């Protein structure tokens, strides 16, 4: 396995140790489950100029330039991941409103980790909320 592929696999493993599953990660990035599996197993790596690379970078660390530096071995995984925390703080302070599509994707990723009873409760609560709002 090449060094870049090993580094990508380490990043995916760290994401999986956090709140993600291979399925929710693939949905959040907009790729098939098998694509994330292939990244994890070191069988593939997204092209640096692809949408998948940019989405993975945004989800895991901030931007494609930093992800490129990490994959090239120029910065460590911990430094790369710290950039996510810094960017989140900056974006929270500076942004007026997050795009609704981003919020929907995040919510769907979180909901997919729930069991059926909890999903039903979310739906019921949402319907009640919408009725009150109308």
Mean pLDDT of the chain: 84
For residues 104-127, average pLDDT? 82
Neighbours of 65 (CB within 10 A): 12
For residues 134 and 27, give the distance between their C-alpha atoms in angstroms, rounded to a whole number: 31
For residues 40 and 6, give the distance between their C-alpha atoms in angstroms, rounded to a whole number: 8
The reported pLDDT for the residue numbered 34 is 95
How do residues 54-106 score in pLDDT, each as one tens digit?
Answer: 999 998 877 889 999 999 999 888 888 886 655 544 444 444 456 777 777 77
For residues 54 and 60, give the distance between their C-alpha atoms in angstroms, rounded to a whole number: 10
The sign of the dihedral angle between the CA atoms of 75, 77, 80, 82 is: negative
């Amino acid at each position: 396995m090449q060094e870049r592929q090993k580094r990508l696999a380490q990043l995916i493993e760290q994401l999986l140790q956090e709140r993600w599953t291979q399925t929710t990660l693939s949905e959040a990035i907009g790729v098939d489950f098998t694509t994330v599996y292939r990244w994890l197993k070191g069988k593939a790596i997204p092209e640096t100029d692809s949408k998948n690379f940019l989405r993975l970078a945004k989800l895991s660390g901030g931007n494609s330039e930093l992800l490129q530096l990490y994959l090239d071995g120029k910065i460590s995984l911990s430094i790369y991941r710290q950039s996510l925390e810094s960017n989140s703080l900056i974006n929270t302070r500076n942004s007026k409103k997050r795009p609704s599509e981003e919020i929907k994707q995040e919510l769907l990723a979180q909901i997919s980790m729930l069991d059926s009873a909890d999903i039903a409760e979310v739906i019921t609560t949402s319907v009640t909320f919408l009725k009150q709002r109308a």
